Amino acid sequence: MTGTPIADPSLVGLPANVPAQGESSPPVVSASAATLSIRALDAADDAAVEAWVRTSPSASFFHRVGWRRAVERAFGHETRDLVAWSEGRVVGVLPLSRCPGIFGASLISSPYAVYGGPSGASREIEHALVRAAQRTADQERVKRLELRCFDDLGLDLPASDLYATFIQELPDSPEKVLASIPKKARAEARKARERHGLTLAEGRWYVADLHQLFLNNKRKLGSPGLPRRWFDELLETFGDDCVVHMVHKDQRPLMAVMSFVWRDTLLAYYAGTADGADREFSASNFMYMALREWAVARGLRRFDFGRSRKDAGAFSFKEHQGFTPRDLHYRYHLVRDRELPSFTPSNPKTKVLRDAWSKLPPWVNARLSDALARYLP
């Protein structure tokens, strides 16, 4: 699917909805049914849509055009983004990819992401984008349309309450980060720094270590990992907005995290921890303290700790770090499916598969993860 090419070349690169200097959000657009049009994203729209996403209050890092383009290149999933236009201006976008599954394809907003759904200049435009996505899902006879919405958009669609996210305001100086952490976690982070001598380093070259640690952690949890090409693609696509940090004990790598810089926020996204690093050195407590200090030193104001299942150990860890959970509002339009997806680690029916996966040799796990990752977006 491709949209009609933009007629006005001036919209490419510098669309009309770019805010004036000093503005933090796009102007409110009132688009009547007569002026609103919704079409599939064309490559010629990329710059205009990216400008919209960068200024829309309801957009996330995962609404960026680069995210879907990276998904295309790394996994081969077809982009189905929908763009709302009014009088030659972008007024909304719904990021969308067609993702193959073991039993059929789905449309997901956004794959390999924790946030998605529509971002529009009004709730009416967002609902219009969802209706257009529903029509696309019906026409393509996919299993389902999955919208990973951050907020409750008032959509009359089946909902999942499986996940919450964790976002916290940062203090105004790195020196205040430690004091902002709850007592027990603060003591562990201080011990890691002062007694164990843990240090934080930044560098894109740590991506190889991150990938190996990430795969090992996923294997122990009984879940496939992600291919190295995906991590490389993110670094290539987002440049300085994608950072990798490593925690060391002397020269020993203990933990790595890939984060994304989005406006005034650092999103800690992919992580991997060496065996015994938390038990022996409190590596995670140190990492997330040091990451917050790093973010404050660079003028960022918020820390996004990402999504966790409400029954998972990561959920409890984030609460113990002083973060308050906020429910995510995932919505589904079922086409060929008859019930919401349940193939998750919290489903008891997957226990046999998880146990078998965790016993695989690491090299087998890596090979199978590369093959299966495109089916588990």
Q: What is the pLDDT of residues 273-330, one digit of tens each?
A: 999 999 999 999 999 999 999 999 999 999 999 999 998 899 999 999 999 999 999 9
Instruction: Say which range, 66-70, 231-235, 260-264, 370-374, has the weakest mean pLDDT.
Output: 370-374
pLDDT at 11: 25
pLDDT at 348: 67
Residues 6+ apart with CB under 8 A from 304: 165, 166, 167, 262, 265, 266, 267, 268
The amino acid occupying position 80 is R
Q: pTM, whole model, 2 decimals?
A: 0.88
Indicate the pLDDT class of residue 367, thresholds 50, 70 and 90.
Answer: confident
Domain ranges of the chain: 9-157, 165-327+352-375
pLDDT at 300: 98
pLDDT at 33: 59
Q: Is the pLDDT of residue 15 over 60?
A: no
pLDDT at 94: 98
Taking each helix axis from N to C end, the angle separating 65-75 and 228-238, rounded to the nearest 10 degrees, works out to: 150
As its CATH architecture, domain 165-327+352-375 has 3-Layer(aba) Sandwich (3.40)
| Secondary structure of residue 115 in the 3-state scheme | coil
Q: 9-157 maps to which CATH number?
A: 3.40.630.30
| Secondary structure of residue 224 in the 3-state scheme | coil
Q: Give Cα separations from 53 to 60, 80, 262, 360, 361 (angstroms).
A: 7, 16, 11, 42, 42
Q: Is the pLDDT of residue 247 over 60?
A: yes
Share above pLDDT 90 across residues of the chain, in percent, rounded to a whole number? 78
Mean pLDDT of 223-243: 96
Residue 108 pairs in a beta bridge with: 97, 146
Domains 9-157 and 165-327+352-375 share a fold: yes
